[in-house]
Copies of this chain bind each other. A is one copy, B any other.
Amino acid sequence: MLAAPASIGIPLEQVDTPALLVDLDALEGNIARMAKAVEGSAVRLRPHAKSHKCAQIARAQVAAGAVGVCAQKVSEAEALVAGGVADVLVTNEIVGKQKLARLARLAREAKVGVLADDAGNVAELDAAARGERVRLDVLIEIDVGAQRCGIEPGARALALARDIAHCRNLRFAGLHAYHGAAQHLRSPSERRAAIAAAAEKARLTKALIEEAGIACETITGAGTGTFLLEGASRVFNEIQPGSYVFMDADYNRNAWEEGWPRFEQSLFVLSTVMSTPAPGRAVVDAGLKASSVDSGMPLVHERPGVEYTKASDEHGVLKIAAGAKAPRLGEKLLLVPGHCDPTVNLYDWLVCSRKGKVEALWPVTARGALY
């Protein structure tokens, strides 16, 4: 693990770059906004920790009312449990003896849930749980539109629920009905239509399973783009938004309907202008390895007319519009990452600041936790 690019108490101007900054006022505001959005409803909040991979943030979410967190990988869950999180749902299918054994072992230390979409995998999950003498919560992943993992809603899900219910070391815990593709549909009406369809598929599947005499306690899903819709559906009773703690350029391109909580951008890549070689062009020291470009280039924060147009490994090329204030050599610029989750995964440290000063350095507990 690399040394942190800052020390506590220094002004932001002295932070070495590129560094991943978290504005604590904005972060805490976002955590509070989400807590408020679910307050008083029957819907449980289980934020997705794949966005932050940080035990400190997970604990803050739990302190604000979350029932636990989601993780995407066994190693991510292990890191979070080691960091003090007591309840983790691995929102993924886990395949392979080694991983299943680790998952079951983790259930000795924390409440652990996992997804399944295959009968053979369910048998292996049961064997792994038996091997560790634990009981694992298993949710069936149904495909409600994302066309990724997950079986078709309906009869196939019922058959798999029966399989799980027959396993002595598994507990059938419900349905995972996450519609990833809906999160970034730009208009509220498109997202509303997508989630209405998803909720109906989940509702019918739950009814089918319950008619067969199997309890179907949890219906979980939702992300930052849609969570109020699932929350209001009367079908979902758990939501998993992740990105809301940070936000990113891609989410900020969504149009939000009235009444939607206004999450603030709390995550920035602090960069330095390393070259001003020609009029209209400047280059910052943050490229592909400092800000993931899978969902588009980063945006230059509060610098109208300055556009980040091209990323190479360690360079970001800025185009300066005629009349715009040109960044000077050595100037520090804040970038808003295109996609927060894979950007956080590039860093060992979150440099947490308040009012222009470094207040804390939080390790990205599960950075690189792929397996």
Task: Identify the A interface with B (CB < 8 A).
Answer: 1-2, 5, 14, 16-19, 50, 72-73, 75, 92-96, 98-99, 117-118, 120-121, 143, 147-152, 180, 272-278, 281, 283, 285-286, 288-290, 292-294, 310-315, 317, 329-330, 339, 341-342, 345-348, 367-371
Contact = CB atoms under 8 A, between A and B. Distances in A.
25 contacts: A2-B75, A5-B370, A14-B98, A16-B98, A16-B99, A17-B96, A73-B285, A92-B274, A92-B315, A93-B283, A95-B272, A95-B273, A96-B272, A118-B276, A118-B277, A118-B329, A120-B329, A148-B277, A149-B277, A288-B294, A288-B342, A290-B370, A293-B294, A294-B294, A313-B341
Contacts of A294: 288, 293-294, 311
Nearest to A316: B148
A187 to B, nearest CB: 21
B277 A117 contact: yes
Nearest to A369: B2
A292 B278 CA distance: 30
A146 to B, nearest CB: 9
B98 A371 contact: no
Contact of A5 (B149, B273, B371): B371
Given A92-B274, A120-B329, A312 B180 contact: yes
Contacts of A286: 370
Given A96-B17, A98-B16, A370 B118 contact: no
A152 B314 CA distance: 21
B148 A283 contact: yes
A342 B5 CA distance: 20
Taken together, the copies of this chain in the complex come to: 2
Contacts of A368: 2, 289, 346-348, 367
A121 B329 contact: yes
Contacts of A369: 2
Contacts of A285: 73, 92, 95, 371
A139 B120 CA distance: 61
B50 A314 contact: yes
Contacts of A281: 147
Contact of A93 (B99, B275, B293): B275
A14 B312 CA distance: 35
Given A72-B313, A98-B16, A275 B117 contact: yes
Nearest to A98: B16
Given A149-B274, A278-B152, A19 B329 contact: no
Contacts of A345: 289, 346
A16 B95 CA distance: 10
A313 B293 contact: no
Contacts of A152: 277-278
Most chain B C-beta atoms within 10 Å of own C-beta, residue among A148, A273, A283: A148
Contacts of A278: 143, 151-152
A294 B296 CA distance: 9
